[in-house]
Amino acid sequence: MNSILITFILIFARISSFMVTSPGFSLKQAPIVLKVGLSFFLSVIVYSMIPEKVGAANLIIFSFLVIKEILVGIALGFVVQLIFSSIEMAGQLIDFQVGFSMGSVYDPSVGIQASNYGRLYYWIALVLFFLSDMHHIVLQNLINSFQMVPLNEAGFMGNTVEGIIRLFIEMFQVSFMLAAPVVLVAFVTDCVLGIVSRSVPQINVLMLGMPMKILVSFIFILLFLPNFMQLVTNIFPEIDRYMKEFLDSLVR
């Protein structure tokens, strides 16, 4: 097989697999033609930047290289997806505390049952992702990955697994940090309702508690929204660091 065609297919495999997993580029509502066209356009740009073309002695080696490129692209997209998953998980924690977890809705963008506040936080984060031009930085890291991890080289070291575990831990910390204010408000509301039920037994707290918690949580989410948007904007630069650290771990 021609080395030019092999090189382009390997580039396209990494970029297209990244587009399938990365938030913002993998929306189900986006036309497939648009995704394929964007992947093809970026592949042409990357191809013009690679001085040496990659060859394959036989079909087995070529298949191995394609699988390697797909795994690298999926891994890079997964790093970005973890940030958004942590933000969505913060909304799920709030849903669980205020009683919305029983009313999860079907989200056609991902094809699963999703929490109400979780999807709200996710879409706010997605809007900020594009408004802050973070998608340009993500695409730049994707293009730079071909210099850091060449098409004909790859390594899987122990520090790669350690870095992913550390990333999971940091994502849980981000989720708790984003959810803490509203969860604390819901907990205080539960305490107040408990005091009311003991003081005035005639009041049906079970009927009054659920709508009150929902109303209070909604009010405080609106109050905390500017702070939430600021926190998310401050978290997004970490995507750049995580992607670079992951690529570094592949070549150490």
On the question of pLDDT at 155 being above 70, the answer is no
Please report the pLDDT score of residue 177 as a whole number.
87
Mean pLDDT of the chain: 80
Q: Are 81 and 22 in contact (CB under 8 A)?
A: yes
On the question of pLDDT at 235 being above 80, the answer is yes
Helix axes 237-251, 59-98, angle to 10 degrees: 140
- Report d(CA 185, CA 182) in Å as an integer: 5
Q: Which of 169, 154, 161, 194 is nearest to 69 (CA)?
A: 154
On the question of pLDDT at 251 being above 80, the answer is no
Contacts of 250 (CB under 8 A, 6+ apart): 72, 148, 149, 154, 155, 156, 157, 160
Reported as a pLDDT band with limits 50, 70 and 90, residue 111 is low
Token pair 């695409």 in the structure block, residue:
139
Tens digits of per-residue pLDDT, 11-34? 898 899 998 888 878 777 777 788
Tens digits of per-residue pLDDT, 1-13? 677 788 888 889 8
- What global pTM score does this model have? 0.81
Please report the pLDDT score of residue 154 as a whole number.
59
Greater confidence, 105 or 249?
Answer: 249
Give CA separation, 225 vs 49, 168, 173, in Å: 42, 25, 19
- Report d(CA 95, CA 100) in Å as an integer: 5
Q: What are phi and psi of 106, to 5 degrees?
A: -80, 125
Structure tokens given for 125 = 């984060």
Question: How many domains is the chain built from?
Answer: 1
Please report the pLDDT score of residue 104 as a whole number.
57
Q: What are phi and psi of 180, to 5 degrees?
A: -55, -45
Residue 108 amino acid letter: P
Greater confidence, 104 or 94?
Answer: 94
On the question of pLDDT at 99 being above 80, the answer is no
Q: Are 39 and 21 in contact (CB under 8 A)?
A: no
Reported as a pLDDT band with limits 50, 70 and 90, residue 107 is low
- Report d(CA 79, CA 243) in Å as an integer: 7
**What's the mean pLDDT in 140-167?**
74
On the question of pLDDT at 127 being above 80, the answer is yes
Greater confidence, 217 or 203?
Answer: 217
Task: Name the residue range of residue 149's domain.
Answer: 3-251
Please report the pLDDT score of residue 9 as a whole number.
86
DSSP notation for the chain: --HHHHHHHHHHHHHHHHHHHSTTT--TTS-HHHHHHHHHHHHHHHHHH-SS----SSHHHHHHHHHHHHHHHHHHHHHHHHHHHHHHHHHHHHHHHHTGGGG-EEETTTTEEE-HHHHHHHHHHHHHHHHTTHHHHHHHHHHHHHHHS-TT-----HHHHHHHHHHHHHHHHHHHHHHHHHHHHHHHHHHHHHHHHHH-TTS-HHHHHHHHHHHHHHHHHHHHHHHHHHHHHHHTHHHHHHHHHHHHHHH-
On the question of pLDDT at 108 being above 60, the answer is no
Please report the pLDDT score of residue 135 as a whole number.
87
- Report d(CA 35, CA 22) in Å as an integer: 12
**What's the mean pLDDT in 78-87?**
88
